[in-house]
Every structure is written in C-alpha cells, then in structure tokens.
C-alpha cells in the first residue's frame, strides 16, 4: 500500500501568557479555548467527513498541538483531548504520532509534564538576540522563565528543538543563534517572517532573507553537528535526486504542492484551513467542524495547485525537491494560490550550494554526514525518554 501521510494542526487556544512584539498567530477575531466536547465533535467530523471531503484516506497521521500557548490549557483537559485523538486514530488502524509546540513560559514541572505527555516530541521557539519576546512587557522576565524551563528539560529530559524567526534582528543574529544551538545540541528551524496577527510588523525583503539563508547554510553544511531546517530537508531531498531515488511521499511543509492531500488545520472555534499559516492569515477557509459546513469549491480550487504551478516552477531543475514552494506564502504575497513565493530566490540559492557541496565532498561523504547528525539527534531524544522514565520510577519510590 502506498503511504498517505497527513498532518493535522490543532490550535487548542488563542490565549497566550506572553505579549511578544511579534506573533504569527492571527488575533483579529479572538476565540476562546476549545472546550473538550467541541474538540471531540471536531475530531469526529474530521474523521467521519473531513477526510472524505478532501478525497483522502490517511495511512499515517501526525497531529501537532499549538496555540496561542498550549500551557494555558489545563493539563487534565489537554490529556483527555490527546487521549481521544490517539484512540480515534488507533480504532481506524492509522499509524499515529503527535507532538506539541510551547513557548515554555511556565514552571519547569509543567514543561517536563508536557514533554512526558508527548514522549519528547516538544518544540519551542528561541531568540537569544532581540527583545521582541516579552512577558508583561519585559524581555528579561521572558528569558528568565524560558531559560529555567529549558534548562530543566536539557538536564532532566532532552534539549527541545526550536523555531527561530528571521525578522530584522533574526537576520542579523542568525550566525550567533546557530552557534548557540550547536553548543546546546538543539535542532533549529529557521522560519521566514510573515505578517500574522501583530500590526506594524516590518517584513524583510526576499534578498535579505536569501542572504541570511545562504550565510547560515555555509556555516552549517558539513560543519555543525545539528539538524537545521530547512537545510537538512532540502539537502536530503536533493541527495535523493542526485542518487536516482524517488522523493518521499508527502514531502514537508513548505515544499509540497498537494497541500489539500497532506495537511489540515483546526481552529478553536471549529474553523478548518489547509494549514496553520493559512489560518493565521485568514486565507482559504475550508469550512467549520462544529457547524459541519464544508466549502467544496474552496477545496477544489486549492487542489488545483499541483496542475497550475507558475510556469517558472514547472521548468525549474529543482521542481522535484521544492514542488513549487509554499502556497500560503504565494497567496500572502499577493501572487495567488498557484503562484511562486518570493522565497524562491532562497531555495534556488540553497540547491545550488548543495550541488556545489556534493561536487566538493562527494555524494557518499555528504550522505554519511547527514546520517551522523540524524542519529545524534535520535540518540539524544532516546536518552531524554530514558531520563523521563527514570524520573517517574523515582517519584513513585519516594
């Protein structure tokens, strides 16, 4: 059977315990936390009708719990929601895995409890450079709370991976942040800036973003012992092409054209979008799981993207790896649902650097290096889970 993977983004709440100067989450139409019964009704609708309406039958499902801030959801309620979805997937014979994103603005105990609930599949965000992230207007307070929780995870579990936003300070501080992440053995994901729910955010130009991506790649490739995305994924994808292999089914955001077959996002009020970014931008609403309304015309329009990619994408030598880039980025930049994102400049530059790196080091050496850092990451996570199990045993004993 051909695998049919789907990622389900679940925004449990739009409430947050921080007041950062930048946040991608759409805040113009606030909604309360999703109650437990609404969560169950929404999941029932997605499994009973949503998959069918999208024309899919997932064999592998990845659920990502996000906010707002997930730590504002009472743990007992979150546990019941998580358990309900796990049991639903199991009853359908779907291979299932879930994870969570948190700002870690909470006590070390709460951070460890969240880590344990998701078996270490916990991500956060990091910014050791700017004062954008704040609690009660204080960047110092944010850093102190975050560092205490992060340090507890590093010592007693494992180092959580982190997103790093390429805003103005992020572009300037990328080299330092990558070295700090390498020191901490932290997986890092670089995210281009986009206009979310925070008014007045100054977007960065395509050239500045490309230059930062290129500088960061040169710093990382065959040198740093950590996974840095999108570098790691794009290098793996290019290696598959150069070695004559087929690309992985489902690919990864933001490098897949068939988003309607691979991704679905649930909002606290039941609204459904293709992904959390589309929800953040208020673009392409598919329907509502609570009112059981479905916009078949919107689904049909978005589903046409693979067949109507920009002409430059269709003739691009890197189409197999990039698949036309991100639909949301294109739409948000005014280029339409089938257009080409301005970050195309970044991806082409990175693919060119990958080809140069393979020519210099040889395909086998690059493959071995990718394998080493992937195994190092997996071993670190495994050790963290062992520490979590030991902590439970010690607590039970004493």
CB 122 within 8 A of CB 99: yes
**Cα–Cα distance for residue pair 300/392, rounded to 1 Å:** 49
Q: What is the pLDDT of residues 1-32, one digit of tens each?
A: 688 999 999 999 998 999 887 776 655 445 57
Name the band, by pLDDT with cuts 50, 70 and 90, for residue 195. Answer: low
> Quick one: how far is CA 327 from the chain centroid?
15
Q: Is 115 helix (H, G, I), strand (E, B) or coil?
A: helix
User: Residue 56's CB: how many other CB atoms inside 10 A?
Assistant: 17
- As a whole number of angstroms, the distance between CA 388 and CA 313 comes to 46
Q: Judge contact between 188 and 226, C-beta under 8 A.
A: yes
Picking from 148, 108, 100, 157, the residue whose alpha carbon sits closest to that of residue 380 is: 157
pLDDT at 23: 73
> 268, 15 in Cβ contact below 8 A?
no
Average of per-residue pLDDT across 299-327? 95
Q: Which of the pair, 385 or 47, is modelled with greater confidence? A: 47
Question: Is 249's pLDDT higher than 80?
Answer: no
pLDDT at 217: 99
Tokens of 325: 């880039």
Cα→Cα distances 348→167, 190, 192, Å: 21, 16, 15
Q: Residue 146: CA atoms inside 13 Å, Cβ hemisphere, count?
A: 21
Nearest to 216 by CA among 204, 224, 207, 225: 224
Percent of the chain with pLDDT over 70: 93
Q: How confident is the model at residue 398 (pLDDT cuts 50, 70, 90)?
A: low
Q: Is 180 helix (H, G, I), strand (E, B) or coil?
A: helix
Report the pLDDT value the prediction gives residue 13, as an integer from 0 to 100: 94
> Looking up tokens 């965000």, which residue turns up?
125
pLDDT of residue 28: 47
Q: For the segment 111-159, what is each residue's pLDDT rounded down to a tens digit?
A: 999 999 999 999 999 998 888 899 999 999 999 999 999 999 999 999 9
pLDDT tens, residue by residue, 162-186: 999 998 888 999 999 999 999 999 9
Question: For 33-52, b where at least 16 C-beta lie within 10 A, e where not — what string?
Answer: bbeeebbbbbbebbbeebbe
Sign of CA dihedral 99, 103, 106, 109: positive
295: its two tokens = 């916009």
Pair type for strands 293-294 and 122-125: unpaired
Q: What is the mean pLDDT of the chain?
A: 92
- The pLDDT of 335-343, averaged and rounded, is 93
What pLDDT was estimated at residue 129?
86
**CB 378: neighbour CB atoms within 10 A?**
10
Q: What would the two tokens of residue 365 be?
A: 């050496």
- List the Cα angle 342/347/351 in 5-degree steps: 155
The shares of helix, strand and coil residues in the chain, as percent rounded to the nearest 5, are 50, 15, 35
User: In the structure encoding, which two tokens stand for residue 42, read together?
Assistant: 């929404």
Tens digits of residue pLDDT in 31-52: 578 999 999 999 999 999 999 9
Residue burial 266-278, b: 16+ Cβ < 10 Å; e: rest: bbbbbbbbbbbbb
Q: Which CATH architecture has domain 5-397?
A: Alpha-Beta Barrel (3.20)
C-alpha separations of 17 from 20, 46, 69, 104 in Å? 10, 29, 7, 10
- Cβ burial of 282 (10 Å; 0-12, 13-18, 19+) is middle
Q: What residue ranges in the chain does DSSP mark as E strands?
A: 5-11, 60-66, 95-101, 122-125, 161-166, 188-192, 228-229, 263-266, 271-273, 287-288, 293-294
> In the prediction, which pLDDT does 193 show?
78
Q: How far apart are alpha carbons 211 and 84 in whole angstroms?
A: 45
């Amino acid at each position: 059977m051909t695998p049919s993977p789907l990622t389900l983004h679940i925004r449990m709440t739009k409430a947050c315990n921080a007041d950062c100067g930048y946040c991608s989450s759409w805040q113009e139409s606030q909604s309360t936390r999703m109650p437990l019964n609404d969560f169950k009704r929404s999941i029932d609708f997605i499994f009973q009708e949503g998959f069918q309406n999208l024309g899919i039958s997932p064999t592998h499902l990845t659920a990502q719990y996000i906010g707002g801030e997930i730590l504002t959801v009472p743990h007992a309620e979150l546990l019941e929601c998580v358990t309900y979805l796990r049991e639903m997937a199991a009853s359908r014979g779907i291979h299932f895995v879930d994870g969570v994103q948190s700002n870690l603005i909470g006590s070390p105990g709460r951070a460890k409890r969240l880590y344990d609930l998701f078996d270490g599949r916990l991500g956060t965000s990091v910014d050791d450079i700017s004062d954008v992230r704040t609690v009660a207007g204080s960047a110092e307070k944010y850093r102190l709370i975050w560092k205490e929780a992060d340090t507890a995870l590093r010592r007693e579990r494992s180092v959580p991976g982190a997103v790093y936003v390429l805003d103005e300070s992020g572009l300037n501080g990328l080299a330092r942040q990558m070295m700090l992440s390498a020191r901490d053995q932290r997986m890092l994901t670089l995210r281009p800036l986009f206009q979310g729910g925070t008014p007045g955010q100054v977007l960065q130009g395509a050239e500045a973003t490309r230059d930062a991506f290129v500088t960061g790649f040169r710093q990382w490739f065959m040198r740093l012992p950590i996974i840095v995305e999108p570098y790691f994924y794009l290098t793996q994808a290019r290696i598959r092409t150069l070695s004559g292999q087929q690309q992985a089914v489902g690919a990864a955001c933001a490098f897949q054209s068939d988003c309607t077959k691979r991704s679905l996002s649930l909002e606290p009020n039941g609204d459904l979008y293709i992904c959390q970014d589309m929800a953040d931008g208020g673009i392409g609403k598919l329907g509502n799981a609570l009112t059981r309304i479905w916009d078949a015309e919107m689904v049909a329009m978005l589903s046409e993207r693979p067949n109507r990619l920009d002409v430059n994408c269709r003739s691009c030598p890197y189409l197999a790896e990039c698949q036309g880039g991100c639909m949301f980025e294109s739409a948000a930049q005014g280029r339409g649902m089938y257009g080409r994102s301005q970050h195309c400049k970044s991806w082409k530059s990175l693919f060119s650097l990958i080809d140069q790196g393979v020519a210099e080091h040889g395909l086998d050496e690059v493959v071995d290096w990718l394998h080493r850092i992937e195994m190092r990451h997996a071993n670190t996570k495994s050790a963290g889970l062992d520490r979590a199990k030991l902590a439970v045993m010690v607590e039970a004993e004493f």
